[in-house]
Amino acid sequence: MNGKDKIIKRLDRNIKLDYIYTLISNLNMQSSIWVLYLGYCDMNLMQIGVLEGIYHVTSIICEVPSGAMADLLGRRKSMIISRILIALSCIIMLFSKSFWLFACSFITQAMGNNFNSGSEEAFVYDSMKLLGKEQDYMRFNGRLNVIIEISQAIATVAGGVLAEFSYVWCYSACVMIALLTLMPLLFMVEPPILHKNEGKAKESGKEKRILQHFKMSVHILQSNKKILNIVGYYSAILAAYTLLFFYSQQYFANLGLNKIEISFIMLLAGGASCLGALSSEMMYQLLETKLVKLSAGIIAVSMVAYGFDILFIAVVSFIVASYFSSMLYPVQSASLNKLIPSSQRATLISVNSMFFSITMLIFFPIAGGVADNFGLVKVFMGLGILILAIVGLTVKIRLK
């Protein structure tokens, strides 16, 4: 086997290992119970909203620098740092008793997610690009989202069961899983970055100044408005759905459901998300750009349907919203990566995450305040109306 064949084999192994990495890293048991846990620790919905706001302020500050570090120093190293920070955040969360200690946990978790967000996607896309398989990325991303949904579904049920007996068990398991995720990373290899002005791959330019890197990223954003259109639109839609996902936990608890029953609803929604991710490529081939607006519109209607304040309708609406939101992730990812050069990939994907964080920073505290004063139903209905307005305002903007 010659040197080129060895490189190809190692890059191909990256893709397989990322499936394993994604499966383990998304066994995030706290995702379905953290709102309930903070409530158990005497945090009200406004405080929970502020904590989530702190998380996203941290993301706004750290997202792009962490992406630049991934581009300049290595995506694999950034992913390793990510897992260590996630484990640390769970430890802090477990032993926190005050608002500010919870804030430290949220800050650490945000930094951990920042180091992974642009890094993993850039790591895999560049591996596929060097293998000549970038045209298969949407299919890969769809499968990846299926794995994410399966993993999160398992975590949701396991987290609910563990939390029903003890929150300590749940967060201790989260620490172990975060550390276990380091295993597949140890067998991955850093793909060389293909520079646009060169006909061959070369190792990441560590000698480049970070300032120059940022200037180039800003230039790309200024010269290609389509990137900003994609980032802005999806950030608003997916942030609204994220609020629905998190606050639905409290909504179902308010209706008298216990943690295991709530976990079962989350499991059903996870199954719908799996179907959505699997069908995303087929649906896009059928509907093309219409899928983006149609999915957002259906998510909006599902949120408004919470206004009936009936458990069955809320559960069905939640499941429908989960199905259509999961179709948007592969489309957005493929759309962005086609427009981004390899040398700035992690940085500009991090810009996308930063926009999402800015949107969440605006949405979450406001939603928490409205929920405390007027109830969660009003929050869901308001978000649904907002999404419909966004879809209407962007009807003539190309998002592909």
Q: What is the mean pLDDT of each run of 10 residues along the chain (400 residues)?
A: 63 88 89 83 85 84 78 85 94 91 94 85 84 81 82 82 84 92 90 54 47 65 78 89 88 87 86 86 79 91 94 95 89 80 72 80 84 90 93 71
Rounded Cα gap, residues 303 and 371, in angstroms? 14
| pLDDT at residue 177 in the model | 93
All domains of the chain in start order, with CATH: 7-189+223-393 (1.20.1250.20)
- The whole-number pLDDT of residue 3 equals 53
Single-letter amino acid, residue 324: F
Dist CA 192 CA 341 (whole Å): 13
pLDDT (0 to 100) of residue 152: 80
Residue 6 has a pLDDT of 66
Amino acid at 337: N
φ, ψ of residue 224 to 5 degrees: the values are -130, 90
pLDDT value, residue 150: 85
* DSSP E strand stretches across the chain: 193-194, 201-202
Contact 119, 70 (CB under 8 A): yes
